[in-house]
Amino acid sequence: MKGMSSIVKKITQLLSGMIFLYGIYIITHGHLTPGGGFAGGAIIAASLIILVLAFGGDELTVVKRKEGSSVTESLAILAFLLFASFALIIGTNIFFHNYLPEGIIGNLVSAGVIPLYNILVGIEVAAALFTIILAFIIYKEEISK
Amino acid sequence: MEIILSIVLIFMIIGALFALHARDLLSALISCGIVGYGLVICFLLLKAPDLAIVQIVVETITLIIMIAVVLDSTRHELEKTAIEKKWKSLINSKALINVLITVIIGIVLLYSFRLAITHLNPFGEHILRMSEAYLYGGADKTGSANLVTGVLFDFRGYDTFGEATILFTAAIGVLTILRIKGRK
């Protein structure tokens, strides 16, 4: 897969980091403002996808990235399951029990385990979408050889 | 608000119909985009910003990928094939029956819809008692200011875990199908 022109490359370099930061903001403020793990993860995946589309498959060594994102995705969902089943050990025997202190409503650090779940789901969604795109690109590269 | 919603919905229907019948694949994709972004406006009008954010991001990613695929392949749809000609002759012979069936089903659906909406509350008012419990007690129970996230990760945490597992399964499925090494 070829890259695009140098104008597109430069603008993508400038914008991609800001889109990534916006995704992180959406994820970490998921329990305060609209948004959350799914939306923020999709935004982060978009910031990586436009990099791949603008620079092409060769310059970023796509195969290694695919391994990394696949492992990240699997670890994120495993951590999500572990955090959820940790409530079975601590205190009450309820799956998905909110076992951390809730804090003051409206603070950034509040709502117990919900921000942690948000972050893990965000990592999972971003890595899964990015893995799917990279799998398509690698398949096309291997077919065209 | 319902008038604006109806106008947006009419635009979405026009976009979907044009996407079906467009000869150029790129214009078909862009009219698909009309449907998706119209849905975003509907979500915003119905006061669901969480859904609107997810919809706008996913729609943009899908459009970008599909446009990249279309620009990389042959842009124009192939001209009428033999199958299409065969379909056309079939349609001509059975056109009357098809139209009759469509009209009858449409009348039945409209009648049952009219029967169903007579006992509903006005548009936008909640009906279930459960939703009142979520609305007025959810913030205190979960400690989350955004009620949607509170419901998603506390009351319906198991459901959210299933959704995340679906994404995981989708990624594994794509990786399994699209491999060349190791497949014979």
As to burial, measured by CB atoms within 10 angstroms (0-12 exposed, 13-18 middle, 19+ buried), residue B102 is: exposed
pLDDT at B80 over 60: no
Domain that holds residue B97: 83-125
Q: What is the DSSP string of A47-97?
A: HHHHHHHHHTTTTTTHHHHHHHHHHHHHHHHHHHHHHHHHHHHSSS--TT-
One domain for residues B16 and B63? yes
In a domain? residue A79:
yes
Question: Does residue B61 sit in the same domain as residue B105?
Answer: no
A1 domain-assigned? no
Residue A98 lies in a domain: yes
Prediction pTM value: 0.78
Strand partners, B24: B76
Indicate the number of domains in chain B. Answer: 3
Q: How many CB pairs under 8 A join A and B?
A: 139
> C-alpha distances in angstroms, B50 versus A96, A107, B25, B33, B139?
22, 19, 31, 19, 17
Question: Could you tell me the CA-to-CA distances from A129 to A71, A74, A85, A95 in Å, in that order?
Answer: 13, 13, 26, 27
**What is the model's pLDDT at position B79?**
58
Examine the domain organization and report whether B9 and B60 are in the same domain: yes
The answer to whether the complex's ipTM is over 0.90 is no
Interface mutation vs chain A, best among B40, B46, B60, B144, most A CBs within 10 Å? B144
Instruction: Please report whether residue A14 resides in a domain.
Output: yes
Number of domains into which chain A is organized: 1
A90: in domain: yes
Count CA within 13 A, CB hemisphere, residue A96: 17
CA A130 – CA A120 distance, rounded (Å): 15
Interface probe, candidates B62, B65, B153, chain A, greatest A C-beta count within 10 A: B153
Asked whether residue B59 falls in the same domain as residue B94, the answer is: no
Selected residues 124-143 of chain A with any CB under 8 Å from a CB in chain B: 124-125, 127-129, 131-133, 135-136, 138-139, 142-143
Q: Which of B44, B59, B77 delimits the end of a domain?
A: B77
Digit-by-digit pLDDT tens for chain A (145 residues) are 667 788 888 898 899 999 999 989 988 888 888 888 888 888 998 898 888 888 876 655 677 777 788 888 888 888 888 887 777 777 666 676 777 777 777 777 777 778 888 888 888 888 888 888 888 888 877 777 6
B137 and B169 fall within a common domain: yes
Instruction: Tell me which long-range contacts B97-106 makes (C-beta under 8 A, separation of at least 24).
Output: none
Same domain, B72 and B94: no
Once rounded to an integer, what is the mean pLDDT over residues B159-170?
87
Residues B110 and B148 in one domain: no
Task: Indicate if B14 and B73 belong to the same structural domain.
Answer: yes
Is some CB atom of chain A closer than 8 A to the CB atom of B170? yes
**Region of poorest pLDDT, from B2-16, B25-39, B130-144, B167-181:** B130-144
Is there a domain that residue A42 lies in?
yes
Residue A119 is encoded by which pair of tokens? 């972050």
Residues B105 and B170 in one domain: no
Residue A33: its chain B contacts at CB < 8 A? 146
Domain ranges, residue A104: 6-144
The residue written with tokens 């979907």 in the block is B16
Residue B181 has pLDDT above 70, yes or no: no
- B107 and B178 in a single domain? The answer is no
- B144 and A103 in contact (C-beta within 8 Å)? no
